Structure 1
Amino acid sequence: MKRNKIYLAVFTALSLSATACNDNVEHNIQSVDAPAFVSVSPQDNIKAGLDSIIVTYDKNIFFASSQYERITLNGQPVVSANVIGSSNKLLLMANIARGESYELVIPEGVVSGPNKTPAPQVKATLKAQSQQITATLANANATAETKALYQKLVANYGQKIFSGAMAEVAWNTTVSNQVHALTGKYPAINGYDYIHLQSTSPGGWIDYANIAPVKTWHDAGGIVTIGWHWNVPTSNPYASTVPVVLYGGPNKDMPADWSGHIQLTTQATKAILAKASVGSKLVVKITNVKANAQGSIKNSKWAGFVDEKGKNWDYFNISGDSYSMTLDQTTLTEMRANGLIIGGHDYTVTGVTVEAAGTVKYEFYAAKNEFTLNDAVTDGTWANRFMKSDLEKIVPYLLQLQRAGIPVLWRPLHEAAGKWFWWGNGTAENYRKLWHTMFDFFKQRGVNNLIWVWTSEKNDPDWYPGDKYVDIIGTDMYGQDGKPVSAQTAVQRFNELAYRYPTKMIALTECGTVAEISAQWSADAKWSFFMPWYPGGGVVHATDAWWKSAISAPEVITR
């Protein structure tokens, strides 16, 4: 009986085991919810061009990159889509057009969760970057003519583009006349420049008080833009005397046989000596001086100068790195008339200078220029004194244009962050200070006919003077290595500036060889205006074919 009970137990256990292996039994696997959409970023003010969009879910997701074409913006596939590593973020790349709104659609099942549970469809509205142009000028006191020109530019912005040409030698319409002869139409804008401010004079080869070249253009319906390649003295112009070079090399040996000499009797030497004065020092710089060396300063007849104290300068002992002669009336008069001769023996001459009234040289480039941006905005420096005097000097010319009813697209201090001009040879903070100084200076003196155009370089927001001081943003583009700037590069630059300065019109303020305007416009580079630089030095920035294409384009405004 006991054995039968054991058999029954074994039979029961085997029966239960067979039941456990039956396929009809349900498996208790833990379920996981499908990934839920959390956000899309950015959703507003997306940069134009090829930009990234990140879609975030509440848990890690899986996505087959080959399925990217099923994800659309306004029905068009995105450029790419990827999940990088183990992540809850889907990275989309898409071409975004400025000012557009988009519906993003990610169909159900394109994205899945950890257990391949399909994510629901995602729909989201996205908005690209756009511009809302400021309706008023930075200078609230702007003249009626200036306000009218600004409103004209605003009304056409994004719809049409104004053509422009830069004056040759700064105060004429030569290039615009050539464009007219070539195409039968004048550009809408003619560019001028106060580059020759230090040389202007009544009746001179350039006279900024003669506004006829500007007024004639304006009265014929043209728009005026003026820049300022601001020439400044390369050294202190207020010093009463400075060492002026009479002989600058090469080094001249004065051998022991007395045969060496430097004859300084040219008209150029005499012109410098004419600016010397009684008490000025003539300095001979020397090296390789032997123990018995002697110097000599002779007149044009090879006799030593004799000064008013009776000293004969025929031969005298020398040492150190220089010897000098203080000019009196007698020696100076003779030198001015006939020059001088440096001689002696057993040493080498490295240079000869005389203290004279400074011969001022002007430059706008930063290289080899003692005039710096930082000094220009620092009270008490000679650069600051000169900067303010030049602002005073230019004001009457601007007021003369204002009285004639001529508004000006004013473009000073351009390309500063490039640092090749003196106004970029310093800090961004001091550049902004210089711009503000000019803006306030002109405003205080009643100059109210300017539309202020600031020219940007790449990645230079620190140099921007601020919305309160700028009306239009410009950029200058030149081709490199003989290749023109492409339309795609142009639209990238436009979009960058339009994104950074959404309340300001963007203009191609200066250009070299660039893609045709129609190609730039079609690519969505909707400049307010364009202006090729004038040809020079064998370089033609805009060919005849380029001009013909530009002037005939339906979007281009001419005079």
Structure 2
Amino acid sequence: MKFKLNVIIFSLTLALIVGLAINTLRSTEYNKVFEAEEAKLSGVEVDNKIKAYSSEGYVTKFNKSDDNIVFDVNVPREGIYNISIRYYIPKTSGEKYTLINVNGGYLRKFALPALNTFQEISVGNFSLKKGENNIMLISEWGFYNIDYIRIQDFPVKGKLTINDELVNKKANNETKKLMKFLVSIQKSHILSGQQGLKEVEWIDEHLGKKPAVVGFDFRDYSLSRVRRGVKSNETEEAIKWHQEGGIVSFSWHWNAPKDLIDEPGKEWSEGFRTKATTFDIQYALSHPTSEDYKLLLKDIDAIALQLTKLQEANVPVLFRPLHEAEGGWFWWGAKGPEPAKELYRLIYDRITNYHKINNVIWIWNSSSKEWYPGNKYVDIVSYDSYPDAGDYRPLIEKYAELTSLVNDEKLIALSENGPIPDPNLLKEYQVNWSWFLTWQEKFLKDGKTNSLEHLSNVYNNDYVITLDKLQKYKLYNSK
């Protein structure tokens, strides 16, 4: 039997996290156990010496790499289903691996941690067709005991109406038009995106295509960098990209306004990182008459000036301030969710209400309810994805978390990524990321994170909108 090899290794931690997510999000409309001893066996056998199995026994003797067990699974409807495995591996034997194949498609490799007794863990979500499906477990490392598999519904939201009304009620026409366009393609396409114009040139050279979205960075407009002589032309480059017909996205690696450590490993140029500054965002926000608070406002005003230039050039901006806050590795997230949310709201208020800037689509970058600043400040929610090189999964669990966060009423974007999810899997699994945006350098060019073959498949896929396709929509009055 031939398989499409797309081997994905799941660690114990990830498997358990996914299992918790599945238990929280999945429906119980379909929930059925398929006993291993009733499946088709090849090179393995049924035993009952180890107690605590669920029915008549379990399947063991996965000794050779091609030993396998095939479950005939009949489901009532086409859709996404979660698969769990109940198994036993003695603690003394250590972690093992199994390969899972569904209907002759992608072959996936999963870690099975050693356990004290038979236990059930989720191994992921799969697209099943209505009626008969074949699910094969292949020994790979082997030396484990399989009791059963469980198949359960895993509903992917996407049936509700996405709200195309922007949180800034005074948003200008260009910005409204972009938002309506993003909503209009939400279930039919994904926009291609790339951080950095040098990388765009590389894509054009190697693929003969350009992405629809380019990511720019307000980093070098941070005043603690400007005071050290740093200059930037990101705004001007973004205007040129817009004039070419592309969509503009901005993040902000915000160098802390003061208190940069500036020593080896903690250089001032890395001042957006928690490790490189002692600036205390919690103190600044709780002392609005302090120098620290005033410096925050000055930095926000510096970014407002750039947004004003973009507004005057009729450029709508996908703006994602305070990204990856919950990670804690950037100073704006170092003091927890409350200061981060307060700072985000301050940025929104200062730019929207004080500076009267109306060309921004506001993006929040977390799936955590604890960190969410609120619906009235956010147009789009997003996630930054950096799995192992070559892992092109559709990220269905994270997508489900984000749809739950906003009750499926806002767009969801893959605002940064290493490996680009396989567009065919995105369609198959109904995972409607609004765009992807591949990060710079090795994430695009190393041939491992995204192979050249994979990049070609992505940029030539009908599901993916590239710059040439975007121009045909005549989104802007320019080219």
**TM-score relative to the length of structure 2:** 0.62
Cα deviation 1:269-303 (Å, max 9, x = unaligned): xxxxxxxxxxxxxxxxxxxxxxxxxxxxxxxxxxx
Amino acid of the structure 2 residue aligned with 1:433: E
Q: How many angstroms does 1:51 deviate by? A: 4.3
Q: How many angstroms does 1:223 deviate by? A: 0.4
Counterpart of 1:455 (choices 344, 365, 373) is 365
Contact 1:510 1:530 in 2 (8 A): yes
Distance in 2 (CA, whole Å) between partners of 1:504 and 1:468 is: 11
Q: Counterpart of 1:375?
A: 283
Cα deviation 1:157-215 (Å, max 9, x = unaligned): 01001001101xxxxx211122112222211011100111137779x87334x743122
Amino acid of the structure 2 residue aligned with 1:220: E
Contact 1:194 1:226 in 2 (8 A): yes
Q: Counterpart of 2:402?
A: 497
Contact 2:195 2:439 in 1 (8 A): yes
Q: Counterpart of 2:28?
A: 52
Q: How many angstroms does 1:431 deviate by? A: 1.4
Q: Indicate whether 1:194 and 2:226 are aligned.
A: no
Change (3 A) 1:72 1:65: farther
Q: How many angstroms does 1:498 deviate by? A: 1.6
SS of 1:139's equivalent in the other structure is coil
Percent identical pairs in the alignment equals 27
SS of 2:384's equivalent in the other structure is strand
Q: Counterpart of 2:301?
A: 392
Cα deviation 1:200-256 (Å, max 9, x = unaligned): 779x87334x7431222111110000110000145189xxxxxx99xx9xxxxxxxx
Change (3 A) 1:414 1:218: same
Amino acid of the structure 1 residue aligned with 2:271: E
Cα deviation 1:253-274 (Å, max 9, x = unaligned): xxxxxxxxxxxxxxxxxxxxxx
Q: Counterpart of 2:466?
A: 558
Contact 1:162 1:188 in 2 (8 A): yes
Cα deviation 1:130-166 (Å, max 9, x = unaligned): 3321120011010100000000100000100100110
Change (3 A) 1:73 1:452: same
Q: How many angstroms does 1:360 deviate by? A: 7.3
Change (3 A) 1:234 1:49: same
Amino acid of the structure 1 residue aligned with 2:216: Y
Q: Counterpart of 1:223?
A: 247
Amino acid of the structure 2 residue aligned with 1:405: N
Contact 1:472 1:507 in 2 (8 A): yes
Q: Counterpart of 2:177?
A: 148
Counterpart of 2:202 (choices 178, 184, 189) is 178
Cα deviation 1:335-371 (Å, max 9, x = unaligned): xxxxxxxxxxxxxxxxxxxxxxxx9776011124211
Q: How many angstroms does 1:512 deviate by? A: 1.0
Change (3 A) 1:545 1:387: same
Distance in 2 (CA, whole Å) between partners of 1:162 and 1:195 is: 24
Distance in 2 (CA, whole Å) between partners of 1:377 and 1:149 is: 33
Q: How many residues align?
A: 344
Q: Counterpart of 2:313?
A: 404
Change (3 A) 1:435 1:539: same
SS of 1:52's equivalent in the other structure is coil
Counterpart of 2:232 (choices 207, 225, 240) is 207
Change (3 A) 1:538 1:473: closer
Cα deviation 1:13-45 (Å, max 9, x = unaligned): xxxxxxxxxxxxxxxxxxxxxxxxxxxxxxxxx
Structure 1 gap segments, 5+ residues each: 1-45, 56-62, 82-92, 103-125, 168-172, 238-243, 249-358
Amino acid of the structure 2 residue aligned with 1:384: Y
Counterpart of 2:377 (choices 463, 466, 469) is 469
Q: How many angstroms does 1:495 deviate by? A: 1.9
Q: Indicate whether 1:507 and 2:417 are aligned.
A: no
Contact 1:47 1:128 in 2 (8 A): no
Q: How many angstroms does 1:474 deviate by? A: 0.8
Distance in 1 (CA, whole Å) between partners of 2:80 and 2:182 is: 37
Change (3 A) 1:390 1:70: closer
1:326-475 to 2 correspondences below 5 Å: 363-378=271-286, 379-444=288-353, 445-456=355-366, 460-475=368-383
Q: Counterpart of 1:42?
A: none
After superposition, the CA RMSD in angstroms is 4.3
Distance in 2 (CA, whole Å) between partners of 1:134 and 1:224 is: 21
1:260-271 to 2 correspondences below 5 Å: none
SS of 1:456's equivalent in the other structure is coil
More helix by share: 2
Contact 1:50 1:96 in 2 (8 A): no
Amino acid of the structure 2 residue aligned with 1:206: K
Contact 1:162 1:530 in 2 (8 A): yes
Contact 1:478 1:484 in 2 (8 A): no
Counterpart of 1:73 (choices 76, 81, 86) is 76
Q: Counterpart of 1:253?
A: none
Change (3 A) 1:74 1:514: closer
Cα deviation 1:111-145 (Å, max 9, x = unaligned): xxxxxxxxxxxxxxx98743321120011010100
Amino acid of the structure 1 residue aligned with 2:423: I
SS of 2:171's equivalent in the other structure is coil
Distance in 1 (CA, whole Å) between partners of 2:156 and 2:360 is: 33
Q: Indicate whether 1:163 and 2:218 are aligned.
A: no
SS of 1:196's equivalent in the other structure is helix
Q: Indicate whether 1:519 and 2:428 are aligned.
A: no
**TM-score relative to the length of structure 1:** 0.54
Distance in 2 (CA, whole Å) between partners of 1:72 and 1:538 is: 39
Distance in 2 (CA, whole Å) between partners of 1:548 and 1:410 is: 28
Change (3 A) 1:196 1:70: closer
Change (3 A) 1:64 1:200: closer
Change (3 A) 1:392 1:380: same
